[in-house]
């Protein structure tokens, strides 16, 4: 049995366990099973995922991260997690600059710790080609899917991980939709690597509400990459302008994207808070 130090953080209600690499090495052989235990909200610490910074990566980045989801699986990218990761690494002096590069499964991501301690993250360009998302439909925008008597129009977008964005009708409850249909869409054969699912209600050209069913987690209070995918889909469908406040159950994120249907080669920027919850030790 090993005693491991950890930090609990949250970004827009998405909560995470972070530990330094030396702590992770004590229990490395027990992963991914230990990830499921640590993330369990009844028997462990409780979290949507675990992040570990790796210094001196083999890539041309300042850091690399290890990312385990609550079910023990690994994933390419997590926007809210990246903000927490960036502040943790800056505060712990794992990096000595406010803007740095992190190698993830989605490639190189560039977070910046702002003076007010909010975190701005260059999330890179959205992926809209179906087989690269991956999505097995013949088009990625407004692809029809019928589940029982319900018909949805799917907008498949990758922000390093796959997302399915669905725009709800004005009289629909997006939280109820996410709870009822999220898992079925996550595992639909259209998404060979499963998918995150976002139900969106457009409030104005600069504001949307989003409910999230997160791949490997289920209902979560927020999803940073999901907020980015939702704004990209909103802009491509001409519902929103270039800068959008995204209201999630856990808080508000500001997403900026200058792309359009004719030219999508622009990076997505996400800004939001990353806050400490508590620190502690656990025997595992």
C-alpha to C-alpha distance for 198 and 201, rounded to whole angstroms? 10
To the query of whether residue 78 is one of the catalytic residues in this protein, the response is yes
DSSP H helices, the chain, are: 21-27, 33-39, 79-91, 174-186, 224-236
Q: Which two tokens stand for residue 249?
A: 């159950």
Q: Per the residue annotation, which of 39, 78, 84, 240 is the catalytic one? A: 78
Q: Per the residue annotation, which of 89, 164, 223, 240 is the catalytic one? A: 223
For residue 158, which of 197, 185, 126 has the smallest C-alpha distance?
126
Contact of 36 with 70, CB cutoff 8 Å: yes
C-alpha to C-alpha distance for 256 and 242, rounded to whole angstroms? 6
Q: What is the DSSP letter of 168?
A: P
Token pair 């997590």 is found at: 78
In degrees to the nearest 10, what's the CA dihedral of 112, 113, 119, 125? 0
* Residue 131 dihedral angles phi and psi, to the nearest 5°: -75, -10
Residue 136 CB partners (closer than 8 Å, separation 6+): 130, 189, 190, 191, 192
Residue 111 CB partners (closer than 8 Å, separation 6+): 82, 83, 85, 86, 99, 100, 102, 119, 120, 121, 122
Contact of 156 with 140, CB cutoff 8 Å: yes
Q: What is the largest CA-CA distance in the chain?
A: 57
Could you list the active site residues? Answer: 78, 223
């Amino acid at each position: 049995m090993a005693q491991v130090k950890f930090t609990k953080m949250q970004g827009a209600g998405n909560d995470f366990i972070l530990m330094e690499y030396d702590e992770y090495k004590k229990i490395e052989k027990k992963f991914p099973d230990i990830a499921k235990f640590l993330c369990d909200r009844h028997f462990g610490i409780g979290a949507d995922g675990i992040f570990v910074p790796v210094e001196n990566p083999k890539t041309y980045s300042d850091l690399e991260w290890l990312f385990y989801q609550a079910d023990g699986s690994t994933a390419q990218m997590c926007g809210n997690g990246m903000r927490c990761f960036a502040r943790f690494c800056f505060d712990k002096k794992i990096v000595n600059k406010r803007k740095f590069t992190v190698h993830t499964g989605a490639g190189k991501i560039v977070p910046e710790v702002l003076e007010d301690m909010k975190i701005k993250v260059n999330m890179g360009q959205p992926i809209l080609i179906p087989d690269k998302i991956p999505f097995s439909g013949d088009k990625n925008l407004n692809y029809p899917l019928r589940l029982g008597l319900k018909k949805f129009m799917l907008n498949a977008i990758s922000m390093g991980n796959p997302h399915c964005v669905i725009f709800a009708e004005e009289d629909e409850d997006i939280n109820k939709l996410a709870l009822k249909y999220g898992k079925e869409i996550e595992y639909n054969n259209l998404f060979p690597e499963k998918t995150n699912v976002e139900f969106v209600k457009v409030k104005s050209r600069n504001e949307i509400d989003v409910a999230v069913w997160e791949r490997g987690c289920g209902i979560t209070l927020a999803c940073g990459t999901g907020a980015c995918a939702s704004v990209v889909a909103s802009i491509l469908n001409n519902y929103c302008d270039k800068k959008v406040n995204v209201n999630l159950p856990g808080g508000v994120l500001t997403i900026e994207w200058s792309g359009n249907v004719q030219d999508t080669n622009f990076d997505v920027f996400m800004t939001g808070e990353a806050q400490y919850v508590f620190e502690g030790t656990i025997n595992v």
